[in-house]
Amino acid sequence: MNRAALLIASAALLGACGKTESPSPSQTETDPAVTTPATAPAPAAAAVGITKEQAALTLATLDAPYNTADLANGERVFATCRSCHTLPEGGARLTGPNLWGVFGRPIGSKEGYVYSQAVQDADFTWDFAKLDRWLDNPKEFLPGNKMTFAGQHDPEDRRDLIAFVATHSQTPPGG
């Protein structure tokens, strides 16, 4: 494949990532917390408001197997999520909702985000097992949801990703 074709194919794949319902122009004009993936910065771990030391403290409190996860790998895997989701408390809604406090939260309950009918009709609370099943295959887990992510099929990468989200989306112990 020539270089130009490769660049076009890469751009198309990146452009398709997270393509779901974008905030309407009126939403972004009236709500500065809503940004589009094109204008939202891709935060580094340090920018999510949780230090590596705080993340390590939280990691130690998680149940097995998440307490042995590789947070550096989880951060690398989360890079695929950043175009649609933010982690810090008060973080922007992008194509997907902000994930602060996701564990223990009923599905479809993040205020200010417009969920698909499938998510609105679902009735469960996010926990590690539910998120693991969702991340493996979102379309199979909850048919009709608007998440375009094909899934993270490697169980170790999912474990590390879930632990990274858990350690960076809640107040750390003593915090």
pLDDT at 93: 93
Asked if residue 30 is part of any domain, the answer here is yes
Asked if residue 110 is part of any domain, the answer here is yes
Write the DSSP symbol of residue 63.
P
Asked if residue 47 is part of any domain, the answer here is yes
CA dist 128 and 77 (Å) reads 16
CA dist 90 and 73 (Å) reads 25
Asked if residue 175 is part of any domain, the answer here is no
Q: Give the burial class of 129: count Cβ atoms within 10 A of its Cβ; 0-12 exposed, 13-18 middle, 19 or more buried.
A: exposed
* Least confident residue range of 9-13, 95-99, 127-131: 9-13
pLDDT digits (tens, 9 = 90+) for 55-93: 999 999 999 999 999 999 999 999 999 999 999 999 999
Domain range spanning residue 34? 3-168
Asked if residue 16 is part of any domain, the answer here is yes
Q: How many helices (H) and strands (E) does the chain have?
A: 8, 0
Query: What CATH number does the domain containing 141 carry?
Result: 1.10.760.10
Asked if residue 174 is part of any domain, the answer here is no
Q: What is the mean pLDDT of the chain?
A: 79
Q: What is the mean pLDDT of residues 106-111?
A: 96
Q: Which two three-digit tokens encode residue 135? A: 């991340």
- Into how many domains does the chain fold? 1
Asked if residue 44 is part of any domain, the answer here is yes
